Structures are given as structure tokens and as C-alpha cells.
Homo-oligomer: A and B are copies of this chain.
């Protein structure tokens, strides 16, 4: 059977990798579905990377860590909370358990009858997406918060320059149509 871990992974950092490893160790016979949320978002300060780039980050990090039994799936937002669990049930292969620390995700899946677990997050002050994006944009140390392969990939795609550009970007609306 499968478990489901869903996140935005902007970017996929060491805390995420630790979470995947912990779930895989606890349920070695299950497959873990990793859903890349807000897949349609990219090039915004909060969602700088495309779903494809995030897929590549996760893929590289799992190979580097020699973790198998994981299936990665981009998941576009449906923007209707009341339909969200049903939407995921139609998009993904069957799963029997959900891992999340988000209170609303927990509420919606529990209402639908799923067991939900909230794994402990590690080093939350360092390993948090918003803080790592800020570090990337401002040339502060970020490399040690990511799996090595993810750090190298972010260099390849010019992530620091992209994040710095997005940070300057048009506030409060972040659409490129707005010079």
C-alpha cells in the first residue's frame, strides 16, 4: 500500500529529506507518494521553482540518499478546499495514510476518514522553506540546509539570481504583466 506526503518543496531541503527517510524506515513495505503541491506556480517569491524543477530536486536527492520506494507526482492546485481530498483521490493511485503537519490538511483528510500522522520536523528554525528562499535571495548561507545534490542543481539553474530578481519584483502583485 501507499502513504502520501504532500508539500510544495520550494525548495526540497534537508528537513524534507529527513522526513522521507523516517517514513520509509517506518513503513519499508509501503510506497511513499510525494505530491508536489501548487505545481502550476513558478517564478513568484513564494513559489520560485517550476514543478519540473522540484521533481528533479527530489529525484536527485533520493538517488543521492539511496532511498527507493518513492513515487513523485506534481499536483496542481484545485483551489476548492471542500473538494481537495476527493480531487487527490482521483489524481493519485490509492493511498491509506497521510503525513502532514498542516492543521487544515489534517482536518480535511480526517473528515474523509484517513489516518493522519504528523511527523516531527527537525531544526525548524533553519530548515524552513521561507527562510531558505530568503537566504537564496540575499546571498546568505543556504547550501548546508539542502541535500548536496539539490544545492548543486540550484547552482546549475541559477537559483540565487532568480530568487534575487523575484524579491525585487512587483509588490504586492507578483505578475510579470506589471512593469
* Chain A interface residues (CB < 8 Å from chain B): 6-8, 35, 37-44, 46, 50-53, 55-56, 59, 71-77, 79-84, 86-87, 89-94, 100-108, 162, 165-166, 168-170, 173-179
- Known A-B contacts: A83-B86, A104-B166. Give 14 more (CB < 8 A): A42-B90, A46-B173, A50-B82, A52-B89, A72-B73, A73-B73, A77-B175, A77-B177, A103-B165, A103-B168, A103-B169, A104-B169, A106-B165, A108-B176
Q: Specify which of B53, B72, B107, B165 is in contact with A104 (CB 8 Å cutoff).
A: B165
Q: How far is the CB of A157 from chain B (nearest CB, A)?
A: 10
Once bound together, how far apart are the Cα atoms of A173 and B83, in whole Å? 18
